């Protein structure tokens, strides 16, 4: 039981890597097999929607033990990843007709999202059951870190494997999940039947204490999904790269971004003792600068991705810590659930909106995200808590 928290961290991290690794490859892959930009966005969005539905469904099920249920969900989910990759390979080899291909892909992504939703929801239940009132915030912080890092490292893995093939990241993600599922089955013991830890808190996402933080988290997830889904098209259309060259550039750029996310969070936790609102404002500024760099100075993409990574790192910690500190101990689980749902919400809304805007004009997705983030930053500056100004 000594390693139970690291194992749960790895389960959530590998799950998030697998779901996010799909985003940067879908653009180039869609063009290779004859799908439109909008159809590629739909494939990401349906997974995000079913992620939300699946999280709600699986957290409330009681059939099988929690351990067997989580292992079964992980297995079915990785099978959908492999099936999608095999079908995409067949489509690239002209073994499937494009007319029916989209709907098969659509069904596979819906199933993937629905089963994936059970991974973070059950993992969160484990963490809540293993922690006490005094250690729960720390446990939820570990859970949140796995979510945030996976969402950045997944696309980085996709790009780094582009030289092998566009579907290679999906096979790699499935193998990674299989190994961690085996480790989970071998090390985490069965638990006696019991009620999942619940609290009677009636905390609402519209609660005045946390709604701005949750809005920022949703907006950040929305913007990141837009970037991840459209950046492949943007690089190809702006720089004239082919699919493999574009994916390699994006992968290295997102890897740099992921490193900066990790480094910035280490710096904040060890050396910077800012209030979460100040951390958040700094992060939003750098996210806007990174998006502007990608839009206006794409030939310096690696620098743009580094700036974006710093912004993501600060923003992730800023809104999650701010929301956690704003509520009482018995409300921590509700806040953690809301934060976990934000990424599913962004995965549902961002891809369709981003590809639709990109179809209208290639600069529109990035310009819209910058505008929303700047306006949100203004609201952050004006925020007050308990009569005390926290504008910095």
Give dist(CA 392, CA 227) in Å, integer.
29
Q: Are strands 384-385 and 388-389 parallel, antiparallel or unpaired?
A: antiparallel
| 353 phi/psi in degrees, rounded to 5 | -65, -45
Q: Which residues contact 192 (CB under 8 A, 6 or more apart)?
A: none
**Could you tell me the fold of the domain covering 4-189+207-384?**
Growth Hormone; Chain: A; (1.20.1250)
Domain boundary assignment for the chain: 4-189+207-384
Give dist(CA 287, CA 304) in Å, integer.
9
pLDDT at 392: 34
pLDDT at 298: 92
Residues 280, 376 contacting (CB under 8 angstroms): no
Give dist(CA 131, CA 339) in Å, integer.
18
How far apart are the two ends of the chain, measured CA to CA in Å?
43
In terms of DSSP H, where are the helices of the chain?
Answer: 4-20, 22-33, 37-59, 66-92, 98-116, 118-130, 136-160, 168-187, 211-239, 243-271, 276-296, 301-326, 332-360, 364-382
Torsion 342-347-348-353 (CA) sign = positive
Give dist(CA 78, CA 287) in Å, integer.
32
Point out which residues pair with 276 in neighbouring strands: none
pLDDT at 382: 66
Helix (H) or strand (E) holding 385: strand 384-385
Give dist(CA 250, CA 227) in Å, integer.
10
**Its pTM surpasses 0.85:** no
Side-chain half-sphere of 27: how many Cα atoms within 13 Å?
A: 33
Q: Kindly compute the dihedral angle of the four CA atoms of residues 143, 144, 148, 151, in this order, to the nearest 10 degrees.
A: 50
Give dist(CA 170, CA 112) in Å, integer.
12
pLDDT at 199: 45
Give dist(CA 139, CA 145) in Å, integer.
10
pLDDT per residue rounded down to tens, the chain (392 residues): 567 888 998 999 999 899 888 877 887 888 888 888 888 888 988 998 898 888 878 877 777 788 999 999 999 999 999 999 999 998 887 766 667 888 999 999 999 999 998 898 888 778 777 776 666 656 666 776 777 678 778 877 887 787 788 899 999 999 999 999 999 999 988 866 554 444 445 678 888 888 888 999 899 989 988 988 888 889 999 999 887 788 778 878 877 887 888 788 778 877 887 888 888 899 999 999 999 999 999 999 999 999 999 998 888 888 877 887 888 867 766 776 777 677 778 888 888 899 889 999 999 999 999 999 998 888 777 654 443 333 33
Give dist(CA 156, CA 23) in Å, integer.
10
Segment 134-138 long-range contacts (CB within 8 Å, at least 24 positions apart): 136/329, 136/332, 136/333, 137/324, 137/329, 137/332
């Amino acid at each position: 039981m000594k390693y139970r928290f690291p194992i749960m961290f790895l389960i959530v991290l590998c799950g998030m890597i697998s779901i996010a690794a799909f985003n940067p490859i879908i653009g180039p892959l869609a063009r290779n097999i004859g799908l439109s930009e909008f159809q590629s966005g739909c494939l990401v969005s349906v997974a995000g929607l079913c992620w939300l539905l699946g999280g709600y469904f699986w957290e409330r099920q009681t059939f099988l033990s929690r351990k067997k249920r989580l292992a079964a969900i992980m297995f079915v989910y990785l099978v959908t990843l492999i099936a999608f990759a095999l079908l995409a390979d067949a489509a690239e080899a002209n073994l499937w007709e494009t007319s029916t291909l989209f709907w098969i892909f659509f069904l596979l992504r819906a199933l993937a999202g629905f089963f994936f939703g059970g991974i973070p929801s059950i993992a969160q239940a484990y963490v809540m059951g293993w922690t006490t009132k005094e250690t729960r915030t720390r446990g939820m912080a570990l859970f949140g870190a796995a979510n945030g890092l996976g969402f950045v490292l997944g696309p980085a893995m996709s790009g780094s494997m582009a030289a092998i093939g566009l579907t290679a990241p999906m096979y790699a993600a499935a193998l990674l999940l299989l190994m961690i599922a085996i480790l989970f089955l071998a090390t985490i013991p069965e638990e006696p039947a019991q009620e999942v830890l619940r609290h009677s808190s009636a905390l609402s996402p519209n609660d005045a204490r946390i709604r701005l933080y949750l809005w920022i988290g949703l907006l950040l997830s929305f913007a990141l999904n837009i970037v991840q889904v459209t950046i492949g098209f943007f690089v190809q259309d702006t720089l004239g790269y082919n699919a493999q060259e574009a994916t390699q550039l994006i992968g290295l750029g997102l890897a740099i971004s992921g490193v900066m996310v990790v480094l910035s969070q280490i710096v904040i936790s060890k050396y910077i003792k800012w209030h979460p609102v100040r951390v958040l404002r700094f992060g939003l500024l750098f996210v806007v600068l990174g998006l502007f760099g990608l839009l206006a100075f794409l030939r310096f993409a690696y620098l743009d991705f580094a700036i974006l990574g710093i912004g993501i790192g600060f923003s992730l910690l800023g809104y999650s810590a701010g929301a956690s500190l704003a509520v009482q101990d018995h409300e921590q689980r509700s806040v953690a659930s809301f934060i976990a749902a934000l990424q599913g919400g962004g995965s549902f809304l961002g891809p369709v909106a981003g590809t639709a805007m990109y179809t209208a004009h290639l600069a529109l997705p990035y310009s819209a995200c910058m505008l929303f983030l700047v306006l949100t930053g203004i609201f952050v500056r004006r925020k007050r808590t308990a009569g005390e100004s926290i504008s910095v």
